[in-house]
Amino acid sequence: MSLARNLSKLAALLNSGGQVTVAGLSAGAPAWDTSGNLALNGATPNAWGGVSSGRVFQTGGAAFYGRTDTPDAYVATNLYRDSSNVWRYQTTAAAAFTQLSGNNFYLYSADSGTAGNSISFTQTLQVGKGASLALQGASSVAGTGITFPATQSASSDANTLDDYEEGTWTPTLERYSTQPSVSYITRAGTYVKIGKTVIVHCSIYVGTVSGNGSGINQLKGLPFAPNTTLNYAYNGVVHYNSIFSTANARSVMAYLNGFVFHDSGANTSEINDNYVSNGYLSFTATYITDA
């Protein structure tokens, strides 16, 4: 085969942009750029300028990007990485990509943007071997489970679990009209929040009461404010009580942005009594919060 004929065939493979195409095929034929990126269906591989450490296979709006410096792999839609390593929209629409890095899987997404503009991604999911499934705004931690963000992203859908949290709180003895002066030997509270439901445990060991205060007895410091639409609807059982001078509290009820106490009688008013030194209180209660 003559040299001129070979040169003619080579010229047919090269377009003006330095891409190699398959001669004789219509638009949409495979194309390679000088970096080794491959495109199908009329995609432009040399739009990916910032991938010196990887190679791209692109067809239409979808792309597979494999790195050569790490084992990371990406599957993307409606984006490319320019010569400055900036992610940009391919067309005016939303964009997203998944990343496989070691034994971790990540999902990133972005709202619709203008073609050619830079993209600001949000990590919406992360999961890996021996690690939790982390939802948007949360970080994956060791162990199998689901990690919610520290700040709840509330859903209006009644069938969506949008929050789970465990923690501690500090219970405080108060009164409605004027506040008592109470010191504590110990006081501890724990809680579990599942959606809008909050389960609390409280343990208080009173030291010295140097001022009685006045009004209905209250317990404040709850980790989440109770829903006030149905006061008295949320109840708890007192396990042990010796903090009142005469009253015998057997239950707590959510009211006045905290808990109030009731004795063992039916239809009784809230307890209004002085706290006593060296008293002890322990109870568990469940209530509903607004979010």
**Domain span at 8:** 3-120
147 in any annotated domain: no
Show the tokens assigned to 149: 């963000």
Looking at 39-48, 170-179, 192-201, 260-269, which range is the least confident one?
39-48
Instruction: Look over the chain and give the mean of its residue pLDDT values, rounded to a whole number.
Output: 83
Terminal-residue alpha carbon distance, the chain? 78
Q: What is the pLDDT of residue 194?
A: 93
Same-domain pairing of 33 and 116: yes
Q: What is the pLDDT of residue 7?
A: 46
126 in any annotated domain: no
46 in any annotated domain: yes
Same-domain pairing of 184 and 276: yes
151 in any annotated domain: no
Tens digits of residue pLDDT in 2-16: 555 544 554 555 555
Same-domain pairing of 85 and 182: no
> Between residues 79 and 155, which one has the greater pLDDT?
79
Amino acid 149 reads P
Same-domain pairing of 176 and 75: no
Mean pLDDT of the region 117-128: 93
In 3D space, the residue among 290, 119, 283, 99 whose CA is nearest the CA of residue 202 turns out to be: 283
pTM of the model: 0.70
Tens digits of residue pLDDT in 158-180: 878 888 999 999 999 999 999 99
pLDDT band, very low/low/confident/very high, at 189 (cuts 50, 70, 90): very high
Same-domain pairing of 37 and 98: yes
Select from 120, 148, 176 the last residue of a domain: 120
215 in any annotated domain: yes
142 in any annotated domain: no
Tens digits of residue pLDDT in 192-238: 999 989 999 999 999 999 999 999 999 999 999 988 776 666 688 89
